[in-house]
Amino acid sequence: MRRWLAAASIMMAGVLGLAACGGGGGGESSQQPAAGGGKQQVEVFSWWTGPGEADGLAEMRKIFEQQNSGYSFFDAAVAGGSGDKAKALLESKLQAGQPPDTFQGHAGAELQGYIKAGNLEDLTFLYDELKLKDVFPQQLVDQISVDGKIYSVPVNIHRSNVLWFNPGVLKEAGVAAAPKTIDEFIAALEKVKATGKIPLSIGSEWTVTHLLENVLLGSLGTDAYNALFKPGGNWAGPEVAKALESFNKIMSYAGDPQDDWQPAAKQVADGQAAFNIMGDWAYGYFHNPPEGGLGKTSKTDFDWAPAPGTEGTYLWLSDSFTLPKGAKHRDGAIAWLKVAAGKEGQDAFNPKKGSIPARTDADKSLYTDYLADALKDWSDNKLAGSVQHGVSVNQPWLAAITEAVGLYISSKDVKALQQGLADAATANAQ
């Protein structure tokens, strides 16, 4: 419990500190781009600072600067998995009328607040110019369209429902294979506990919400899960109650919370823990060489399967970039968006990031091992939208869910958690 409170305090202090220094010196993200050598610096705001994601961003940066000699790239990334700190600082910049030239956001409901506030330009013109509707899946275009307009350029597709596990730890515990159901998962966690190893590793608070969405999907099934986010979704019903009891049981096997998702994933790769439920960005971290990852060997040091109960469903999210109204270097931002949308940019970024391209014409030979599985599943699985990563709920709704999860972490009160989730849906479902 003290670890959770300490982590929350550190996070809030960091956000306030970043916001406070927005007008002058301080952290990297608070600096203002300065012209140099006759080039305009394009401020690209993201939360890609960790191994894998930072490497992928660096590859796109190379392409951007090679293709645009009049611009240089200003990396305004803010550290923190899932972007919670970055979003808090971004909001302060937008309210101050000082938007970055472009910022990362999750495609889907997460961007609705920015759209309603008039913060974003319509990018339909770019889709027409680059013929992006011909190379992005129609289901993706539909998901990111608002009243017939499109406000972001997706650079990838991520899968949220991945069970990462250490084969050696499972063998030691007598677990023959990755569990396929929630009940099998709980049984496997109990077997690992008996060995003295950590059954389930977790990170900071947002990773618990990430775990929750996976347990809801695995318990309810795709159609019932998706129905929760539509008007009239029954968060107070017995099916959700049963899912939350399973979630509570699973949480009882969790180890000490780590600072973020990377150290939690590392516990699995190092053989300290058996399981971790995390998005497939973890693949880049596991797989990439030591200068940008852990340099681990798949199927030996780590392995993967759909999260228990979710086989046949792709719990998806997409990182995308936007064009804020009032961007100081609008043309430079558009040049960046063209790289993010382009085949070369996506094929340079995604193998490093541990994601698959949003485009359907990518070079499939670049996507091997886990990524080959993801490409196949994306083409034929049912789809469900992530909660934590902005597809199914807008930011106020996610904030209310996060509050309910935070209270649960303190109290372990499952009924109060269900009531909090039901209240969040009543206040925010549209």
Work out whether the CA dihedral 395, 397, 403, 409 comes out positive or negative.
negative
Summarised one tens digit per residue, pLDDT across range 351-374 is 988 899 999 999 999 999 999 999
> Based on the domain organization, do 299 and 413 belong to the same domain?
yes
The CATH number linked to 142 is 3.40.190.10
The larger pLDDT score, comparing residue 278 to residue 16, is at 278
Determine contact, residues 388/160, Cβ cutoff 8 Å.
Answer: yes
Whether 290 and 220 share a structural domain: yes
| Amino acid letter, residue 388 | Q
Task: Return the pLDDT at 36.
Answer: 52
Q: Would 399 be classed as within a structural domain?
A: yes
Under the banding of pLDDT at 50, 70 and 90, the label for residue 94 is: very high
With 90 as the cut, is the pLDDT of residue 254 above it?
Answer: yes
Structure tokens given for 277: 């439920």
Q: Is the per-residue pLDDT at 51 higher than 50?
A: yes
Predicted local confidence at residue 291, as pLDDT = 81
pLDDT above 90 (res 317): yes
pLDDT at 8: 43
On whether the CB atoms of residues 369 and 354 are closer than 8 A, the answer is no
Say what the pTM is: 0.84
C-alpha closest to that of 251 among 167, 181, 189, 184: 189
Q: Is 7 domain-assigned?
A: no
Q: Which residue has the higher pLDDT, 209 or 289?
A: 209
Q: What is the pLDDT of residue 53?
A: 87
Which pLDDT belongs to residue 354? 87
Q: Which amino acid is at 291?
A: E
How high is the pLDDT of residue 79? Answer: 87
What are the φ/ψ torsions at residue 246 (nearest 5 degrees)? Answer: -65, -40
Position 343 pLDDT exceeds 70: yes
Q: What is the pLDDT of residue 19?
A: 33
165 and 89, same structural domain? no
Residue count of the chain: 430
Instruction: Decide if pLDDT at 9 tops 90.
Output: no
Residues 173 and 61 in one domain: no
CA 5 distance to own-chain centroid: 23
* Domain contains 4: no
In this structure, the answer to whether residues 191 and 288 fall within a common structural domain is yes
Q: Express each pLDDT in 148-201 by its tens digit.
A: 999 999 999 999 999 999 999 999 999 999 999 999 999 999 999 999 999 999
- The verdict on 285 and 321 lying in the same domain is no
The confidence score (pLDDT) of residue 85 equals 86
Residue 234 sits in the same domain as residue 278: yes
The answer to the question of residue 330 being in a domain is yes
pLDDT of residue 28: 37
Is the same domain home to 131 and 205?
no
Q: How many domains does the chain have?
A: 2
Q: What is the mean pLDDT of residues 396-420?
A: 97
Asked if residues 260 and 204 have their Cβ atoms less than 8 Å apart, the reply is yes
State mean pLDDT over 394-399: 94
Q: Of all residues in the chain, what percent carry a pLDDT higher than 90?
A: 78
Place 429 in a pLDDT band, splitting at 50, 70 and 90.
Answer: confident
Average pLDDT over the chain reads: 90
pLDDT at 380: 87
Residue type, 391: V
Residue 129's domain comprises 25-157+317-378
State residue 150 phi and psi, 5-degree precision: -125, 130
Specify whether 206 is located in the same domain as 255.
yes
Closest CA to 208 of 158, 256, 167, 266: 256
Residue 11 has pLDDT above 70, yes or no: no
As a whole number of angstroms, the distance between CA 338 and CA 333 comes to: 9
